[in-house]
Amino acid sequence: MRAFQIFLDGTHQATAGDKDLDELSIWLSITPKNEEPHLIVQGRKLDADTLYEFQWVDLPVGVGSVISLKHVESENIDQPSQTLETKIESRCSFCGKTEEEVGELKRGKYAIAKICGTCLQLLAAS
Ligand SMILES: [Zn+2]
């Protein structure tokens, strides 16, 4: 399966990936308050009404650090260091009404937000 090998200053940090992921992201986040940037490697999977978020790496990156990534085909994926499971409510993300009140809610393939028919019509008309 497709995966990323992540190295920080030449040291292998993780091999992240999964055949079932909807998205695998690697980014550097800079927060305020003069904190060091963090290298973050996360994956997401949306399964019916549950969002699964996996994290492989969350490391501070000092000035002069070298980050390298290698795109690989590998069956040896590391277990995520953190897994978060979030239940997605059956409510319209715009008006807050439940599916029982407004009927079927629509959602994009990988989207968390849901929308009812009324809000969709209002959006289309604006
Ligand atoms: Zn709505």
What's the predicted TM-score (pTM) here? Answer: 0.73
Q: What is the pLDDT of residues 40-57, one digit of tens each?
A: 999 999 887 888 999 999
Going from the Cα of 79 to the center of ligand 1, the distance in angstroms, rounded, reads 38
**Could you tell me the distance, in angstroms and rounded to a whole number, from the CA of residue 53 to the centre of ligand 1?**
26
* Centre of ligand 1 from the C-alpha of residue 97, in Å: 6
Domain boundaries, the chain: 2-87, 89-126
What pLDDT is recorded for position 89?
A: 80
Instruction: State both tokens at 124.
Output: 């289309």
Residue 60's Cα: distance from chain center in Å? 19
Q: What confidence score (pLDDT) does residue 115 get?
A: 92
Best mean pLDDT range from 26-40, 89-103, 107-121: 89-103
How far apart CA 98 and CA 110 sit, in angstroms, is 20
For 48-76, what is the mean pLDDT?
92
| Tokens standing for residue 120 | 């969709």
Alpha carbon of 95 to ligand 1 centroid (Å): 4
CA of 85 to the centre of ligand 1 (A): 25
CA distance 40 to 31: 13
